[in-house]
Amino acid sequence: MKNKVVAVNSTFHFALSKLQLKMPLKNQIITVMCEKIVFPGRALCRCADGIALFTEGLLAGETAEVLVIKDKKSFREGILKNITEKSPDRIDPVCPSFGKCGGCAFQNASYADQIKYKQIYIEELLSGFAPVGKILQSPEVWNYRNKMEFSFFDADGKTDLGLHQKGSFNRYISVPPCFIADKDFSLIAHIVKDFANKNNLPAYNNKTHQGFFRHLVLRKAKNTQEVLVNIVTNAVDVDLTPLVNELKNHAQSIYLTQNGRLSDAVVVDNFRLLYGSEVIKEKLNVGGRDYFFNISPFSFFQTNSKGTEILYNEVLKALNPSKNDILLDLYCGTGTIGLSLAGSVSKVIGIEQVEQAIENARENVRINNIGNAEFYAMTAEKWATEEISLSTLHSSLSVVVDPPRSGLTGKVIDFLLNSDAKTIIYVSCNPSTLARDLDIIAKSGKYEISNITPVDMFPQTYHIESVVLLKIKA
C-alpha cells in the first residue's frame, strides 16, 4: 500500500510539473542560466521546458531571475531582475550609466572577452559560407567615437544634456561622462549646458513644442584634432555670440541648425556657420598613403577613425587590385573607400543617393589630387536598373558595396550577379543581413565566398564590421 501511495504521489508531481511548464509565463519571474551571447549582444538562456529566452545584461554561465515579458511558442523575452550567480569574468563597468544608457552593451566584460563573444556569434552566423578570420581589434577601446549626438532635456527645471535611455525615446541619461566619446566632447557639452542654464534657455519639449535647445552634435577628426560643433535649436532667434566666443578655443567650426519641425530628428530648416571653417578635415592612411577627407555637419564618416584605417586597409588587401581595374563603389557616401583605393586602380565610380555626400566626395577628389574618380548622386537601385552598359566600364570590373544595416536589396543583388565583376568586396555593419545576402549570392553558384574578416569598430558595444571577399567562379 505504501509503495502505491509513493507511486501516486510521484505521478501527481510529474503531472503537476508538466502542467506548470505549459502554463503561460508572461509577467512571471523565473530563474534561468545564460548559455551564451548571441547577436545582437543578447543573452541566450533556456527555460525549464527547453524554450529559448533572450534577455540582456548576462554573461555566459551566469544564473539570474528574469521577468518574462514575451511568451511565444518558440521563444521568450525577459528583463533581467537579479543575478544570482555571477561569472568570474564579470567586471565593474567604467560608466555609472551602464545598463541604463542605450549606447554600450559590454562594459561588464574585459575587451578580450568582448572580442571572444563577438568572434563566437559572428562565426555562428557566417562560418557556413567561408572561413571567418580572427577579429581585427580596435586600436582604441575607450573615447574612440568621433561623432556624438546629444539631446537636451528638462531635469527638474534645469536644462540637461544626454543620451536616450535604453529602449526609450523620451527619457534620457545625463552626460557627460560618456566613456566611448572623444574626451573633448565632455568639455564642450559642459560649456553648452552651463550656458543654457545661466541664460535660462530651456530644453525643447516634444509634447508642448516649446523650448530652445534641441540637440548638440559634435564631430572630431581624430587624426588632425579638428572639432566641429553643431548646435541644434528650435526656430527661435537667440544671441549665441557669448557661447560661440567660449567655444572658439575648443572648435575649428561652429554651426547653428534651426529646426522648427515637430519631429525630434536632427533636420535642417535654417543652417548657418557661426564661426570658423565650413568643414573639418580628417586624415586616413591607407596602403601607406595619407588621404584627406572633408567632414561637414551632416556628412557620413565612420565613427572610429583609427578603426577605419584598419577596415580600409583590409578592403585594399582583400581586393588586391591591379592598375587595369575599374572599381565601382556602391553606397559610397563621401567617397572614402573608393578614393582610398583610387591609386591602385584605373578608375573609380562612386554611387550614393545623398546629394550632399556626393558634393563632399567631389571635393575630396580635389583635395587629394585624384584624377581617376567620378561620383553620381543616385540610389544603388537606380544604377542597377537603368540601362548602364557594364561593357563601357571595363572587362576588369571590381565592386565594393558598403550598404546600410538593412543590407542589399534584391535589385542590387541581381545587378551584382549579372555584372560579371571579377571581385566583389562586401563591407557590412550587420552580420545578420550579411548572412541573408551571402546565402542568396552563394545559391546563385556564380561567386565563391573566399574569406570573411571581422573588424571591431565599436568596443563596449555588440556591433561588428565584416569584410567579405567574393570571387567570380571560372
Stated as kind and residue range, the H or E segment containing 384 is helix 380-385
Q: Which residue is associated with the grid cell 566626395?
A: 361
> CA 244, CA 95: separation in Å to the nearest integer?
30
Gap between the Cα atoms of 315 and 423, Å rounded: 12
Contact 82, 64 (CB under 8 A): yes
Q: How far is CA 454 from the centre of its chain?
A: 14
CA pair distance 306, 165, nearest whole angstrom = 28
- 419 vs 384: CA distance, rounded Å: 9
Identify whether 429 is a catalytic site residue. yes
Of the residues 45, 47, 95, 429, which is catalytic? 429
Q: Which three cell numbers stand for residue 181?
A: 566619446
The whole-angstrom separation of Cα 212 and Cα 449 is: 52
The torsion of the CA quartet 226, 274, 153, 69, rounded to 10 degrees, works out to: -50
Contacts of 360 (CB under 8 A, 6+ apart): 293, 294, 296, 299, 334, 335
> Mind telling me the catalytic residues?
429
